[in-house]
Structure 1
Amino acid sequence: MTPYVLTVDAGLRDLRVADHLLHALAAELSLAKGAFGCTHLVRGDHPRVAVSLTLPSSPLLRTARERLTARGREVSDGAPDAIGRAVIYPGVESLTGTLTITELLARSAIDRVEVLGDPGQPDPDTLLVTRSHVRPQWQDGALVLTAMPAAYGTLVPFEVPDPTPCCSDH
């Protein structure tokens, strides 16, 4: 598949808000099954989170660009970088509950799972407790989920669904 990518930069500063924007855009555009929606950390003078949409064809990209521009969105071609954090991707809706690594890979566009602190690949029968929040990242053209060890030999995605904000206790 040749990627057809566009970026929407709404000047967001929060990943959770960017996730919500991606879901809203997906619903608004009725995204095709092969679409990807990613967040990207934009550094520089004005750090922010931009979102990208990767669509399976040029006509779909043109339609998405026209609809978003007509709604006043700032749209540009391509992705801000190659390290997007995938929020929308094929199979994401089936990654709920507890799955083996084999099931996770078979059900989704995720190419592999890496475990923090472990240079090898996890056993394919290892259980992953998804917490219904699986956010892999693009690494060298592969969609990679970073996981960490959890109770009873299971794994969990590194990114937690509801992170505690810094300094929340004061």
Structure 2
Amino acid sequence: MDRSQKAESVASLNAVFNEVGLVVVTRNLGMSVGQSTALRSKMSEAGASYKVAKNRLAKLALKDTQYEGLEVHLTGPTALAWSIDPIAAAKAAVDFAKTNDKLEIVGGAMGSTQLNADGIKALASMPSLDELRAKIVGLVNAPATKVVQLVNAPAAKLARVFGAYGAKDAA
């Protein structure tokens, strides 16, 4: 990688750090190409990205961003996962780490809030933004459904009573 490619890599990573909601630092301990490809596809399905970057270049890219505190985690064979959704990258990384012992969660940050490995795992256990939206829609729809059921209930009871009287008269 020549100097211009390094500068381009630092600039693109810096742009990413300025617009994402969460960055997770992982340590890959001898993952194969197939495992790395599976992780990348899992990340993209979740709406996140995963990149192995040189630690020195990543530290340069972190300068003047809210994620500057992540420099302490960038030692050894590390990789970065990020997403705009504050939960997607954490959830995908933790799910993959559960099934693959060669991926270790080191830490991360959500904005200027630094998180250790346990913080990332706790964040991954929270529902995603889409799941929360679905719950809210369900809660909003529930009262309307109950109102309709209450309005229809007396009519149904009357129909049953009339049906019972009709059956009694016929017998």
Q: RCO (CA 8 Å, sep 6+): is it higher in 1 or 2?
A: 2
Higher helix fraction (1 or 2): 2
Q: Kindly name which structure, 1 or 2, has the bigger radius of gyration based on alpha carbons.
A: 2
Higher strand fraction (1 or 2): 1
TM over 0.5: no
TM-score scaled by length of structure 1 = 0.31
